[in-house]
Each structure stands twice: as C-alpha cells, then as structure tokens.
Amino acid sequence: MDPKSPLPVMHVSPRIEDGFFLGVVLVVSIAFAMVVEPFFAAILWGVIAAILFAPINRQILAAMPGHRNGAALVTLFLILAIVIVPAFVLGAALLQEGAFFYGKIQSGEINFARIFAQVIASLPDWATPYLRRMGLGNFHAAQDMVTRGFTSSFRTLAAQAFQIGQSTFSFMVALGVMLYLTYFLLRDGEVLAQRVADAAPLRKGQREALFSQFVIVIRATIKGSIIVAIVQGLIGGIVFWALGIQGALLWGVLMGAFSLLPAIGTAIIWAPVAIYLFATGAIWQGVVLVVCGALVIGSVDNVLRPILVGRETRIPDYIVLISTLGGLEMFGFNGIVIGPVIAALFIATWNIFTQMRGAGDTAN
C-alpha cells in the first residue's frame, strides 16, 4: 500500500453516532450534577422561590414594562422582606427560647419525670391497667416508646439544623447562591423553562402536562403545607402564650413542624399539654386549649388548603405522610418539599400514562 495514498474513510452509522452523542450528553450532565451538588439545597429553594413569586414578578413587570432587571430586583427585595428577614428573626428568637427552656430542664425547674408522674396519678383507676399493658406505666418506658417512634424520622432534620448552626459561613454562601439564582430565574425563568422543555425528549402533550404539573405541585406543596403550617404554629403559639404556658414560641414552631404530617398533626404537642393542665388542676386552661386545638388549630387545614391550593391538586393525606417522612429521611429538611413533590409527580406521570393507554385503546 502506497503510504502517500489517502486513508480509507470509515462510514459510521448515524444510529451509532446518535448513541455516542447521547452517552456524551449523559456523562456531561452527570458531571455537571456532581459539580453543583454542594449547592443542591440553594438551587432547590431558588427554583421554589422563583416559581412562587413569578406571578408577583409579572405584575411588577407589567407596571414597569421593558425593565426586566428592575422588576426582578424589586421582587427579590420583596422575598427578602417577606421571607428571609422574618425567618432570621424567628430563628434568633427560637434559639434564645430553646436555650432558656433547656436551662430550666438542666436546673430541674422543669422535670418531665415529675410531670409524667403527676399526669399518671390524676388519671382514673380504670386507665392505669391499660397504660401498663401498653408499656406506659412509668416515665422511662413512655420515653423509650416515644423516642423509638420519632427519632428515626427526625434525626436527619435535627442533624442538618445543627450543621447550619455550626457552619454559618457555608449557610450564608448557600443563601447568597439561592438569592442570586432566584434573581436570574425571575428575570429569565420563562425563557429557560422553554429551553428545558424543548430539550426534553418527550411528546409535546407529555412535556406540557409534566411541566405544568411540576409548577402546580411546587405551589401546592408550599402554599398548601408550609403556609398552613405557619398559620397553625402561629395560632398555637398565641394560644400557649395567652394561657401563660412557658416556651410558647418553641411550642408554636413545633406545632407548625408537626402539622406537616397529616396523621400526627399539632395534637401531638397541645394534647399532652392539655392533659398536664387537667392533671395539675388548671381546668379552664385545659378546656380552652382543647377547644382551640381541636376546633381552631385543627380546622385551619380544612379551611385554608382548599382556598390556597384547590381541591383538585390535593394529594391524599396518607401519601403526604409517607412521602414527607421518607423525604426527611433521605434529603433532610429539603425533604419536606422534595418528598411530596416526587409523590405528586409520580401520581401525575401515571395519570398521563393511563390517559395515553386509554386514548390508544380507543383509537384501536
């Protein structure tokens, strides 16, 4: 063979080229995901903030047309004033309240064993055998049962909260990334969303249904869960404060957190306190707490959620419970949103698939 002769051209099948390029796309996408993984929470909450405040940003942009940068900046300042600053103030007050409450426990001024003994002693005689049969006859047995029931679900959440407190610099960096990303998503969010939608290898109907469902689910999860939790915690804290119960802010925040779990709810906080009030002779305070807990705090979910979300987007309570606990276990605090969103998208995907199957059967 003449060394000067040109090399033979190899013809590669277009299918092989497409397959290779798809592999390159997957590898680069995975590498990019690994690069941004340390800021996963910042990106998640940036996307959530942009989705929630997009309608407000559109209204501001309509009032100042042609100024997308200015509209996004005004919306970002609103997010700071409405969400970020109040969250910092609440966090600082909660830390102070928690430290004060913990000091009283350490000094023995608040003794849970003594409180438990008072409650058991005030119960009628017929209730004591049932408690012993359930293994709740003494404080340590009850403590072990409660600990086993809740520690696994909330260990990750507590660990992340501790890490935030220990690494303030990292938290502030993540917050800055979130706000920075939120600004650009508010300004260019519709264009970026359209690019992602065009790149998704899905049929137009499937793509539109999934993207619209994703936005609906984000808004439903935040508006229907987080806002309801804030309202329930706020009402519970005010009731505790009005009744003179120590640590009202702490108990209010805990009620808001537990309200995210439908099968548990705020009653896990106010019910034991009401029992203690009855056991210690504070009858009218106990009655007020039970009435407010059962009728006022408990009805907030049924009243507000349909107004904020709409009944058609509501996820069954048992799915919310399982997905929230699973999300907390896998993703920590971010799982409060990620778990229900994944569950809702799972339901939406199967609904779309079922409709497609039905349309295919009809066509045949």
CB contact at 8 A, 218 and 341: yes
Q: How far is the C-alpha of 144 from the C-alpha of 352, rounded, in Å?
A: 45
Positive/negative CA dihedral, 287, 288, 289, 293: positive
* Each residue's pLDDT tens digit, 165-212: 546 677 788 888 889 999 998 888 878 877 777 777 777 777 777 777
Q: Which residue has the tokens 């002779």?
A: 281
* Each residue's pLDDT tens digit, 85-114: 888 888 777 777 777 766 766 666 665 566
124 burial (CB, 10 Å; 0-12 / 13-18 / 19+) is exposed
What confidence tier does 78 reach under pLDDT thresholds 50, 70, 90? very high
pTM of the entire predicted model: 0.68
Give me the helices (H) in 243-297, please. Answer: 248-258, 267-279, 283-291
CB contact at 8 A, 182 and 50: yes
Q: How far is the C-alpha of 72 from the C-alpha of 84, rounded, in Å?
A: 16
φ, ψ for residue 201 (rounded to 5)? -80, 65
Residues 246-251 have a mean pLDDT of 81
φ, ψ for residue 136 (rounded to 5)? -115, 25
Q: Does 153 have pLDDT greater than 50?
A: no
Closest C-alpha to 343, from 245, 217, 229: 217
- DSSP at 80: I
* Each residue's pLDDT tens digit, 120-135: 666 666 556 665 665 5
Helix, strand and coil content of the chain, in percent to the nearest 5, comes to: 85, 0, 15
Q: How far is CA 13 from CA 25, 45, 173, 351, in A?
A: 19, 44, 48, 38
Closest C-alpha to 324, from 252, 250, 257: 257
* Each residue's pLDDT tens digit, 22-66: 888 889 988 988 888 888 888 888 888 888 888 889 899 888 888
Domain ranges of the chain: 38-149+168-186, 204-357
Q: How far is the C-alpha of 314 from the C-alpha of 324, rounded, in Å?
A: 14
| Residues of the chain above pLDDT 70, percent | 70
Measure the CA angle with vertex 301, ends 298 and 302; round to 5°. Answer: 95
218 burial (CB, 10 Å; 0-12 / 13-18 / 19+) is buried
| Residues of the chain above pLDDT 90, percent | 3
